[in-house]
Amino acid sequence: MAITEKHINTRLYLVAVLFLLFSMTIIVRLMEIQMIPKEELGKIPESRIRSVVKVQPNRGDLFSEDGHVLAASVNKYDLFFDPVNPKPASFFNDNIGPLCDSIAKVTGQSADKLVMQFRKARARNDQHEVLMLNVDHQMYERFKTFPLLNKGMQGGFKFEPRVERVYPMNPLAERTIGKEIRNDDGTYIRVGLDGTLGRDYLEGVEGRRLKQKISNKLWKPVGSEYVVELQEGKDVVTTLNMHMQDIVHHALKEQLVAKNAEHGTAILMEVQTGEVKAIANLGWDEYRKDYTEKKRNYAVWERYDIGSTAKLASLLIALESQVADSSTVFDTNGGKYRIPGKTVEDSHRGGYGTISLGRGFAVSSNTVFAQLIHENFKDQPKEYLKRLGRLGMTSSLGVPIEGESEPLLRYPGEWGWSGITLAQMAYGYEIQLTPLQVLAFYNAVANDGELIRPRFISETREKGRLVKRYKKHVLKKKICGPSSLKVAQQLLRDVIEKPYGTAKNMRTEVVSIAGKTGTSEINYTTGDKNDLEYIASFAGYFPAEAPRYSCIVVIHKPNKEGKKYYGADVAGPVFKKIAEKISTHYQDELLWEEGEISEPAMEDDYASYFAMAEKELKRIPDLTGMSGMDALALLENLGVNVVIKGHGKVKEQSVKPGTPVDRTRKIELKLS
């Protein structure tokens, strides 16, 4: 049958109607998606939408209290050139020489050889020539200005960006600052503050957005809002002070070298707030032939027999239970006190004769304290342990660093308890704590009996704005009565100030010190004195009359030459050097009037810098007085080219504050 014009028109109308209906269906469906509320859209299965893309938040930065960047995420780039893509050939030929001249000025390569290399690559259709690897944002921006590359992909410029975590202050406090390491199986190793604080503060919350495919390889976001809201990571301001950290780090390292010791730790803490100002963990690194922080966080993790620093606890227990006072007399029995299965000996051959408990504390007599505790608590050993608990010495502190060890003590009826355990605990054996736990106890004595959790976090911030300021966490309001405390405080001064005190060598005109020496043996159970190694320690605070800082130094396995392995000889000089330098550099702070130290109203300089930088106008902030590293990080985040001259803090900047950001402009910072 012949096809008429009427039939053709009918079919065309039918096709047109079908096409119109199909188009209207698509439009209606798109309108439905756009009108779905955000909270409902998040519930739609991914199979019913084009695609959901994950948006990773920026990890927050870690700062010291004095404004130094401790850990930060920076952009790094691998840069490549595709010599095939620039077209036509005349465009490539006209610009390849100037491009290679620019590259040569940066890399030091021969411009002529680069021209030859790229021409050969173009001839063999090689589209992936390496320009530079692992460059920072400043160098990336510089390459973008080069001939050909300034045309982007059309000019053959290719790059692979990534975010890298950097730690500008290493090796200072390296172990405590820490890091987060992702394993291949998706699990994490979290070390120190940067690792532990990641989940709650630094990481942020992953966002999710809809995206729609618009071509074979291109996608575009659907709308401007998130299906799951993106939350950027918070910045954390720690309590660490990098100037104090430098003092503590080098004082410890010098003594480790001098004593050829295996490892050691030193911690400095503010008495009334519990803020940890400095913490050094140094161990001998055979590979690097140096003392580094690569090993462990000894301050938080390592338990040890705390030696004679335990005598402060025994003293307070005796005073609180009223079984003795500082004038109670003891016979040191020629330096030996015998109980079934054990002979306790004084380090001073022949003992100290008949002396008071107070003097026994100052000379650190083992026989006096073994008698004191064994004779008064052998029939009620649980009471002694109960009173240790009241002092805060039987449980962990709960600090925000993974790996804190629980105190290790033996209890009656448990494996390892014997008739000599109580006497040994009295002077520091069979009682193992970490250095930080011992320091917290001594800090409580300095703080009129208030036991505080050591604090590492000062505040959290978002985009330079304060989110939360953290206050001290009190674990126990009073560990003992005021009269016992006053006796203990005076006896801690006697250790240094009396001519018979074990730490009389620590006396200094710079600052008054109160504290206790400690020495404990390693391998003492073997019975072979040739196998003995030692742990030397000193715990205390300064100034003695109005304590501002507490400190502990613990050094493992110093050399035994001249029998100079005791706490006063090994750990004491480190403590003294720290106390003197802190007192000299922070003299005004040590002259505070007695009373509660107020939490600092820290509107830190760098907070205002970052807040200013994030204003919509994007103007250059006033960087005067800012540390060079922080200024560099800030300007690189703004995409500005920076040249730094000198060391220290910013003294001058070549571009005036308030000038609009120009990413093609270079800023020179002079430091002093």
Please write the tens of the pLDDT for every residue from 474-533. 999 999 999 999 999 999 999 999 999 999 999 999 999 999 999 999 976 666 667 789
Parallel, antiparallel or unpaired: strands 641-645 and 666-671: parallel
Residue 166 pLDDT class (50, 70, 90 cuts): confident
Q: Closest Cα to residue 307, out of 577, 570, 573?
A: 570
The per-residue pLDDT for 3 is: 55
User: What pLDDT score does 119 carry?
Assistant: 96
Q: What is the mean pLDDT of residues 448-467?
A: 92
pLDDT at 430 over 60: yes
Going by the DSSP 8-state scheme, the letter that residue 561 receives in this structure is: G
Question: pLDDT higher for 200 or 335?
Answer: 335
Q: Residue 398: what pLDDT?
A: 95
In this prediction, residue 270 has a pLDDT band, given cuts at 50, 70 and 90, of very high
Length of the chain measured in residues: 672
Burial class of residue 345 in the structure, from the number of CB atoms within 10 Å of its CB (0-12 exposed, 13-18 middle, 19+ buried): middle
> How far apart, in whole angstroms, are the C-alpha atoms of residue 654 and residue 314?
63
- What's the pLDDT tens digit per position in 344-367? 999 899 999 999 999 999 999 999
SS (H, E, C) 497-548: HCCCCCCHHHCCCCCCCEEEEEEEEECHHHCCHHHCEEEEEEEEEECCCCCC
Predicted confidence at residue 13, as pLDDT, reads 74
Which pLDDT belongs to residue 627? 67
Q: Which of 90, 163, 87 is nearest to 127 (CA)?
A: 87
- Least confidently predicted of 83-87, 184-188, 371-375: 184-188
| DSSP assignment string, 574-615 | HHHHHHHHHHHHTTTGGGPPSSPPPPP----HHHHHHHHHTS
Residue pLDDT, tens place only, 234-267: 899 999 999 999 999 999 999 999 999 999 999 9
Residues 6+ apart with CB under 8 A from 603: 466
DSSP annotation of 629: H
Residue 123 banded pLDDT, cuts 50, 70, 90? very high
pLDDT digits (tens, 9 = 90+) for 184-237: 777 777 788 988 887 778 876 666 666 665 555 555 555 555 556 657 788 999
pLDDT confidence band for 170 (50 / 70 / 90):
confident
User: What pLDDT does 598 receive?
Assistant: 42
Tokens of 326: 């500082």
Report CA 669 to chain centroid distance, whole Å: 28
Measured CA to CA in angstroms, residue 93 lies from 146, 167, 578 at distances of 15, 44, 66
235 vs 36: which has the higher pLDDT: 235
The pLDDT tens digits for 578-634 are: 999 999 887 765 554 444 444 443 344 444 444 444 443 467 888 887 766 567 667
Using an 8 Å Cβ cutoff, are 111 and 104 in contact?
A: yes
Both structure tokens of 51: 């695609």
| Nearest alpha-carbon partner for 433 in 477, 390, 377, 388 | 388
Q: Tokens standing for 671?
A: 């430091």
Identify the pLDDT of residue 197: 83
CA R_g for the chain: 34
pLDDT exceeds 60 at position 402: yes
DSSP H helices in 432-519: 435-446, 482-497
For residues 343 and 536, what is the distance between their CA atoms, to the nearest angstrom?
22
Rounded Cα distance between 302 and 41, Å, is 51
Report yes or no: 73 and 61 within 8 Å, Cβ to Cβ.
Answer: yes
Contacts of 117 (CB under 8 A, 6+ apart): 129
223-227, long-range: CB within 8 Å, 24+ apart, which pairs?
223/34, 225/38, 226/38, 226/55, 227/38, 227/41, 227/42, 227/52
Residue 223, pLDDT score: 54
Q: Examine the pLDDT at 183 and tell me if it is beyond 80.
A: no
Asked if 253 and 542 count as a contact pair (C-beta separation under 8 A), the reply is no
Confidence of residue 462 (pLDDT cuts 50, 70, 90): confident
- Predicted confidence (pLDDT) at residue 28 exceeds the cutoff of 80: no
Domains of the chain: 54-238 (3.90.1310.10), 242-591 (3.40.710.10), 605-671 (3.30.10.20)
Interacting residues of 109 by C-beta distance below 8 A, sequence separation 6+: 103
Q: How far apart are CA 80 and CA 160, in angstroms?
A: 8
Mean pLDDT on 433-449: 98
Residue-averaged pLDDT of the chain: 85
Q: Looking at residues 83-91, what average pLDDT do you find? A: 94
pTM for this model (two decimals): 0.76
Model pLDDT, residue 593: 41
Question: CA 203, CA 230: separation in Å to the nearest integer?
Answer: 11
Share of the chain above pLDDT 70, in %: 82
